[in-house]
Amino acid sequence: MGEPTEPGPDAAAGRGRAALIEDGVEFDGRDAALLRAVDAAGSVAGAAAALGRSRARALSRIEALEDAYGTLVERRRGGEGGGGSRLAASGRNLLDRYDRLQAVLAATAAVPETVLDGTVTAVDGELAAVDTAVGELSGLHGGSGGGEADDPGVDRERVAVGDAVQVRIGADAVTVNDAASAVDPDATSARNRLDGRVSAIDSGETVSTVRIAVRAGDGGDADVEVAALITAESVERLGLAPGDPVSIRWKATATRLVAHAE
Amino acid sequence: MGEPTEPGPDAAAGRGRAALIEDGVEFDGRDAALLRAVDAAGSVAGAAAALGRSRARALSRIEALEDAYGTLVERRRGGEGGGGSRLAASGRNLLDRYDRLQAVLAATAAVPETVLDGTVTAVDGELAAVDTAVGELSGLHGGSGGGEADDPGVDRERVAVGDAVQVRIGADAVTVNDAASAVDPDATSARNRLDGRVSAIDSGETVSTVRIAVRAGDGGDADVEVAALITAESVERLGLAPGDPVSIRWKATATRLVAHAE
DNA sequence: CGCCGTTGTATCGACATAGATACAACGGTG
DNA sequence: CACCGTTGTATCTATGTCGATACAACGGCG
């Protein structure tokens, strides 16, 4: 218990693919490309040609999507140019939704995460407290809406006291504060707080990954490293350098608990 | 430009499905269920039977996965009980990775987000500044790794000055501070900061969604509402009530820019 | 040595999905 | 009224995936 999993750039590595689901119909990148092509070509026929796909199939695919998502494409036959199709407003919204989902997925692949093993000590609604090597942390469990249609196995929505879980802390959610000028803990909504020392700074073009070594309070374990994504400007402004004592802070609502396999 | 998109609980709604991708091979919920069943049954044959799937197919699927992800299942034939299979450590890691991805996806579906339309005013590496109705915000663009295998259309990785984009702010990344005790801006790495007034509080069991109305500086537009996920305890501690002036703050690295579809 | 249940491997058919093709319907335009 | 390119609709075929089935190889155990 409380064994820290090595954080690292590859902890969240792995590209992914995401799809929206409504009424059992998946909207994936292929569908997004189709809608975009319709928008660009002004007709389903032109879109199918541009994508090298069958026109009849493209049309029936759009109809299948519309059965689940509502009107996506306004089609008109006959008339000027023989007719044509335009993206409906709701179709554009769906594309935006997909793009944002894609952006989130790309971010989780690109953003380092810190993963700590721990055991649940208390559950209060959507929130749970977890005992880890660096002390007690609190985070959200279950997406309360992320039910899996194709994962009828164990329900991994809820956790219970005593469960072994992984605590996932996205590096983009961790705020680094100067240890000296401690912020009044009552003036902010950020709840999880740890003190540590900067152990390494990975400088990117404009964004740096700062690794903070936190003393493992439990037993004589090695230090746990927590990653934080910080703009290079902030690194400069805070004058961060390896060895500096800092205080890190992140919101419980940005912390996810995942039921650990085993 | 600067038109605020209505934030709301359904802004990020929509269930999703995610899959890891390596070497063009997708690892999805079905594969995760298979690996979990192998772990539980101790044999591929037993797992296939438990899932009602073909044993031969299950085995060949595992082989296909192992071609891309490395050894996942340690298989042994002959011997006690005729042989059997165990999940390899790397297989367990892959399952954990998938579960975390799934948790992130479920979270994005459950967590409200605020979406603002804007135009890019400056690009500096992975970071970009965007002009919106509530002033200039900075955020990350592109996942630099979220390339889509099935989306060969426009490259939506990079943005350029002048591009219309959507700024996505996850409610779980927004920190609420008491307006009175302003935090020293130089002591923290959080970069985006806005002042506003609490307009509504959606109290959940232990987590509340606080909506903060921010005056649209640009023109006479209506106020923009930004959502923040806060633990109920923090709401209590800060003594938040509708009408209260607050200061909100979130990290540029937790802000995503999405190229807007026209 | 034979039994047993498993891992390997190969083959066949069912099924779903996609492309290919053909043709009717539509409604501005010349 | 004929022309045109599009939307609808139907049908056939190719392809890939999955289940079903069959059989050889393996190795501990009685």
- A81 CB-to-strand D distance under 7 Å: yes
Containing A197, the helix (H) or strand (E) segment is: strand A192-203
Task: Give nucleotides in strand D with any atom < 7 A to a protein C-beta.
Answer: 4-11, 18-22, 25-29
Q: What is the pLDDT of residue A12?
A: 42
Q: Is residue A4 part of a domain?
A: no
**Burial classification of residue A163, based on how many CB atoms lie within 10 Å of its CB (0-12 exposed, 13-18 middle, 19 or more buried):** middle
- Number of domains chain B contains: 2
Q: Is residue A34 part of a domain?
A: yes
Alpha carbon distances (Å) from A67 to A43, A54, A60, A70, A72: 20, 20, 11, 6, 10
Q: What is the pLDDT of residue B181?
A: 59
Residue A36 and residue A155 share a domain: no
Residue B235 and residue B153 share a domain: yes
Is residue B260 pLDDT above 60, yes or no? yes
B15/A21 CB distance under 8 A: yes
Residue B200 and residue B254 share a domain: yes
Crossing angle (nearest 10°) for helices B89-110 and B29-41? 140
- Strand D within 7 Å of which CB atoms in A 39-78? 43-46, 55-56, 59-60, 75-78
Residue A136 and residue A54 share a domain: no
Q: What is the CA radius of gyration of chain B?
A: 24
The domain that holds A151 is classified in CATH as 2.40.50.100
Q: Is residue B56 part of a domain?
A: yes
In the predicted model, what is the mean pLDDT of residues B24-31?
93
Residues 115..134 of B with a Cβ closer than 8 Å to A: which?
115, 124-127
Q: What is the pLDDT of residue A149?
A: 40
B261/A96 CB distance under 8 A: yes
The domain that holds A49 is classified in CATH as 1.10.10.10
Is residue B256 pLDDT above 70, yes or no? yes
Å from the B246 CA to the D14 C1': 64
Average per-residue pLDDT in chain B?
Answer: 84
- Residue B16 tokens read as 């999703």
Q: What is the pLDDT of residue B134?
A: 93
Q: What is the pLDDT of residue B261?
A: 65
Q: Does A163 touch chain B (CB under 8 A)?
A: no
Q: Is residue A128 part of a domain?
A: yes
Å from the B25 CA to the D19 C1': 22
Q: Is residue B62 part of a domain?
A: yes
Residue B136 and residue B58 share a domain: no
Q: Last residue of some domain: B108, B124, B140? A: B108
Provide the pLDDT confidence category of residue B98 given band limits of 50, 70 and 90. very high
Query: Residue A49: helix, strand or coil by DSSP?
Result: helix
Q: Is residue A75 part of a domain?
A: yes
Query: Residue B153: helix, strand or coil by DSSP?
Result: coil
**How many whole angstroms separate alpha carbon B96 and alpha carbon A260?**
7
Q: Is residue A15 part of a domain?
A: no
Percent of chain B residues topping a pLDDT of 70: 82
Residue A101 and residue A119 share a domain: no
Residue A148 and residue A32 share a domain: no
Q: What is the pLDDT of residue A155?
A: 45
Q: What is the pLDDT of residue B149?
A: 40
Task: Render pLDDT for B113-170 as a digit per residue (tens, 0 to 9).
Answer: 999 999 999 999 889 999 999 999 999 986 543 334 444 334 446 788 999 999 999 9
**How many whole angstroms separate alpha carbon A44 and alpha carbon A72?**
12
- B242 CB-to-strand C distance under 7 Å: no
User: What number of C-beta contacts closer than 8 Å exist between A and B?
Assistant: 326
Residue B97 and residue B125 share a domain: no
Closest CA of chain A from B79, distance in Å: 25
Residue A92 and residue A119 share a domain: no
Q: Is residue B7 part of a domain?
A: no
Residue A77 and residue A129 share a domain: no
In the predicted model, what is the mean pLDDT of residues B84-93?
94
Q: Last residue of some domain: B92, B108, B124? A: B108
Q: Does A145 touch chain B (CB under 8 A)?
A: yes
Residue type, A107: A
Domain range for A227: 114-259
Q: Are strands B175-178 and B245-250 parallel, antiparallel or unpaired?
A: antiparallel
Residue B156 and residue B80 share a domain: no
Q: Does A19 touch chain B (CB under 8 A)?
A: yes
Q: Last residue of some domain: A59, A85, A108? A: A108
Q: Which of A150-159, B94-103, B210-219 has the lowest mean pLDDT?
A: A150-159
Averaged over successive runs of 10 residues, the pLDDT of chain A (262 residues) comes to 40 69 92 96 95 95 95 92 91 92 86 94 92 93 48 56 94 86 60 91 91 80 89 90 93 90 62
Q: How far is CA B220 from the centre of its chain?
A: 33
Residue B118 and residue B101 share a domain: no
A107/B151 CB distance under 8 A: no
In the predicted model, what is the mean pLDDT of residues B35-64?
95
Q: What is the pLDDT of residue A188?
A: 67
- B7 CB-to-strand C distance under 7 Å: no
